[in-house]
Amino acid sequence: MSSRSSSAAASALLERVWTDLGIRPRGADDHLESAGEVPLPSRLATAELAWSSVRALGLLTGIRTRPDPRRIAMSYRSDRVLTIDGTAPTVWAPLSGFWQTTDGWIRTHANYPHHAAALRSGLALRDESSAHDLEEAVRDRTSRDVVDAVVAAGGLAVQVRSEQPAVDDELRRSPLLQMEGTADRSTVNATSTAITTATGRIGAGTRPLDGIRVLDLTRVIAGPVCTRSLALLGADVLRLDPPHLPEPEWQHFDTGQGKRSARLDARTERFRELLEHADVVVLGYRPSSLARLGLTAGDLLARHPSLVVAELSAWGRDQPDRAGFDSLVQAESGIAAVESPDGIRPGVLPAQALDHSAGYLLAASIVAALRHREATGGGWHISTSLRRVAAELLTMPRRHEPQPVGEFDTAPHVAAFDIDGLRLTTARPALPGVEFAPPRRWGRDQPRW
């Protein structure tokens, strides 16, 4: 991909974002020559996707300074520079990965203990089973057989598939960022003219989102990246997790900057009181799980019609019962096949780029929805999915081989914090001109504004 085609790919993606959001911010026509310079080497347009996602959020909040391409890459690969007291955490569990079967490959995700237990149950593995045991258990079975057994037990596994252009084309017929208003179920087109070049402040202070209250019901990269970005821009973000579902603290440290974190049952009166005073709710759990708790976007907006509800899922609204993660979507969508290093073994993107881009784009959508609400009143429902972002990436121009990337000094792109006696090192923000507040310990705050 040439520099010119790289710029064109980034520009086309941003044009789609402005159309979906009904806003064209000042600076939208700036040149995009730096888009291909983001050091995220891959055959697919990962660099352009990352640049455009970060740029969209920046421009919608009045940040016209161009991001540093290396800073974007570091932000997308923050788990590679994260250390706690000088030690890097183990990011992938032993039973998470690619495994060869009789007719191809599968991808598993077992980072959470309950997913690992379900995976072992589905494949009749012992509690102390190793990666070698898993490899032996699947090598003489078909991919379909293994995936069906794991999923039936409540685990997470997918077949590694080739690209499906017809599926991606169909997905791209729907918006990348779907927005719907509550007042008259209007789309953004009904209000876009009034705020075409809006860059004024939404919040009550010096930062764009000062005074905006965000209830964060998300976990695992995409949702937390979204809400971390909102906190960076001034929002009061309160992350709530179910009391029974633990979170690896390193994972929260990686994406929890500027937020408070508490554990609270969503069926309590206290939870309902928090909802009463929220401006934004970000949902990152399976739609079917949210429905059982009365927390779908429809439920929330029926009770609180001026809310902005942002909904993120792995597979989209048409697969509400299906759990998933970035790595699984890469495998099933065809990305792993495209990025294969040798045409045999599956490959991966240089970062969890579907997660990170979905997070930045969802944050941009929330800012746009707040501007729409400011202009016309009413609430908004926003949604996207990792699979929809994958479809966008798979239909962008690509390279025959990953572009070479030289080494660069990472020191200017990391920050250090002292947190209750722990020394945390992590990536600095991809957005220029702002800095993260330190994360707090997971689950240690009170559930209150």
Name the residues annotated as catalytic: 355
Burial class (CB in 10 A: 0-12, 13-18, 19+), 69: buried
The span from the CA of 227 to the CA of 66, in Å, is 22
Give the CA count within 13 Å in the CB-facing half-sphere of 214: 33
CB neighbours of residue 444 within 10 Å: 11
The span from the CA of 429 to the CA of 412, in Å, is 11
Q: Residue 263: phi, psi to the nearest 5? A: -110, 130
**For residue 271, what is the enclosing H or E element?**
helix 269-276
The span from the CA of 158 to the CA of 166, in Å, is 20
Q: What residues contact residue 296 under an 8 Å CB cut-off, 6+ apart?
A: 287, 290
Which residue's entry shows tokens 């479809």? 391
Which residue's entry shows tokens 């037990």? 153
**C-alpha distance from residue 348 to each of 233, 326, 388 (Å):** 31, 10, 17
The span from the CA of 313 to the CA of 296, in Å, is 12
Residue type, 48: E
Nearest to 235 by CA among 274, 207, 264, 196: 207
Question: In the sheet where 83-84 sits, what is the strand order?
Answer: 83-84, 422-427, 414-419
- Given a contact cutoff of 8 angstroms between Cβ atoms, the answer to whether 227 and 310 are in contact is no
The span from the CA of 448 to the CA of 308, in Å, is 19
Nearest to 315 by CA among 240, 217, 216, 383: 383
